[in-house]
Amino acid sequence: MNVQELKHPGLKKWVEEAVALMSPDTVEVCDGSKAEYDRMIKITVDAGLATPLNPEKLPGSVLFRSDPSDVARVENRTYIASQREEDAGPTNNWINPAELKKIMTDLYKGSMKGRTMYVIPFSMGPVGSDIAKIGVEITDSSYVVANMHIMTRVGTKVLDVLGSNGAYVPCFHSVGKPLGPGEKDAGLWPCAPLDKKYISHFPETREIWSYGSGYGGNALLGKKCLALRIASVLARDEGWLAEHMLILKITNPEGDVKYITGAFPSACGKTNLAMLIPTLPGWKVETVGDDIAWMKFGKDGRLYAINPEAGFFGVAPGTNNESNLNAMESCKKNSIFTNCGLTEDGDVWWELIGHGAPGKEILDWKGNKRPAPKTDKSPKGEEIAHPNARFTAPARQCPCIAKEWEDPAGVPISAFLFGGRRPKTIPLVNQARSWIHGVFMGSIVGSEVTAAVISDQVGQVRRDPFAMLPFCGYHMGDYFKHWIKLGQSHDESKLPKIFFVNWFRKNDEGKFIWPGYGENSRVLAWIFDRCSGKGKAQETPIGFLPTLDAITPPQGVSQGDMQELLKVDIEGWKAEIADVRKNHYPKFGDKLPKELYAELDAIEKRLNA
């Protein structure tokens, strides 16, 4: 389809203005077909940017190597350009929107010379769902088009739903590397220098402008940019939730089903939990989503969630058959790998994949020949795969994908889980006493800071409220208020129950007490039962904890270990509350809801009783 065939006058005008600004050689409107995806892959292979992988090992898959300056989200170049600085809040980077648009418009001038402009109509969520939203990304990267094919629903069917006057989120993206006459990329990943990279969000006008990066969440603008930063603003204004949460379907031995969402900061086992293989006999866990949940209230007063994505953009290092078999199975074909190692037999390899590399040599993520490692470990700083190496895989290929994952109505949510990586203080599992107590728990989520990270926070805890700190499109004090308001304006008995989990408790020798992975199903079973009005629990100053006989311990976990995992560390919690009061809550100034300070006071009082 060409631009003239677009039936939406506003969209057509916007694309024509972009063409005039960015000066591409040609323009294509993406139709979402397999032929189009295959053509994008061929373009990247022919340009020397992608390497086809061994068709017997990873059929239909390719490997990309990005520029060393373009390997991850660039948070210090990510902006929330609200009209007023105070609306962006203290945890976001702010630039005046008029000033930022002028800077970026100058960068966009002629930025696509020598390239094709692709217009990608995409749906976040099942096409036509009442919970879904439509975006249109303009890009000059065939890598982005191919990834968006996997990560979203792309093409003509989206334009059909958009019609002639539907709402969409306009997204500009350019790698910022125009080509002169006859110039080619010649196998070099195109991007701009770091100081020219901008990932900008304009909350009031619902726009996303990205320049200079071709990688991940900087370039796949449906992912964090639309699905969280802009959607969180839409959700606030429209009365729903856009959250950095996995979605699980859990079936107990009697055949009862519940859906649970969970928010975890990075390195806290979120993807592993999303694709968990339970060790408890008779229990079944399936995946609805591994990263993002959009939730709206149904006519029955319950929250219904969709996974707005259609694929997984997973971190490869650390993923193996033991830690996440379902993720490994998901990316066995039709997948895009970025910044992984390449073995002599045309397979991918990364640290902690579970085995050494075959043959004598391996190409690292920069394309350098290295001796093939005989184990799956490498010295820090000498990794074969970049620590943020990725796989992009269609969700439909996941062996444990739930049949409801594309249900446009969404699935009814029974529980929210919050979790962090904490060696002490926080118990294995803890149920909130009320909705407001649960919001308080979400607001103080944090993970331990290792000795390698310099931190001025007391207790060495880096807090990431609701696991949304890098992704909330407005002031987090107002975000907490939004959660509180939803609880106050709906029947609490129909709202999801809220739990805090911590798989990462350590003993005095520094060893993990709880084995995690599939054994986490034992905790999920207790949460499931609590949502059914069952499950043994005791009331404590910090919430409801399982009784010692409520969770059957896995092999190797003693009764003494369970006591340690399920005890209330009064002194530890007093220190926790003091840290929140002194170092965390003051960041949000007078926008921190008074209800959270009241909750803080109430917990402190209970701990001192």
**Pick from 219, 138, 220: nearest CA to 171:** 138
The pLDDT, as a whole number, for residue 81 is: 98
CATH of domain 243-310+403-608: 3.90.228.20
**Using N-to-C axis directions, what is the helix angle for 594-608 and 435-443, rounded to 10°?**
90
How many Å is the Cα radius of gyration of the chain? 24
In this structure, are residues 114 and 180 in contact, taking their beta carbons and an 8 Å threshold? yes
Cα separations in angstroms, 483 against 438, 441, 487: 10, 12, 7
Mean pLDDT by 10 residues, the chain (609 residues): 93 98 98 98 97 98 97 94 98 98 98 98 97 98 98 98 97 98 96 97 98 96 98 98 98 98 90 95 98 97 98 96 96 98 98 97 98 95 96 98 98 97 96 98 87 46 95 98 97 97 94 96 98 96 97 96 97 96 96 98 96
The pLDDT, as a whole number, for residue 457 is: 46
**Using N-to-C axis directions, what is the helix angle for 594-608 and 476-488, rounded to 10°?**
80
Give CA–CA dist 266/435, Å, rounded.
Answer: 25
Give CA–CA dist 294/296, Å, rounded.
Answer: 7
The pLDDT, as a whole number, for residue 379 is: 92
Q: Half-sphere exposure of residue 235, counting CA atoms within 13 Å on the CB side? A: 32
> What are residue 375's phi and psi, to 5 degrees?
-120, 180
Which fold is adopted by the domain 3-47+75-238? Phosphoenolpyruvate Carboxykinase; domain 1 (3.40.449)
User: Domain 312-396 sits in which CATH superfamily?
Assistant: Phosphoenolpyruvate Carboxykinase, domain 2 (2.170.8.10)
The catalytic residue among 225, 268, 331, 531 is 268
Whether 312-396 and 243-310+403-608 are alike in CATH topology: the answer is: no
Cα dihedral 424→430→435→436 (10° resolution)? -30
> What are residue 246's phi and psi, to 5 degrees?
-75, 165
The pLDDT, as a whole number, for residue 269 is: 85
**What residue ranges do the domains of the chain occupy?**
3-47+75-238, 243-310+403-608, 312-396
Decide the pairing of beta strands 361-363 and 341-343: antiparallel
**SS3 assignment for 544-582:** EEECCCCCCCCCCCCHHHHHHHCCCCHHHHHHHHHHHHH
**SS3 assignment for 501-533:** ECCCCECCCCCECCCCHHHHHHHHHHHHHHHCC
Q: Is residue 268 annotated as a catalytic residue, yes or no?
A: yes
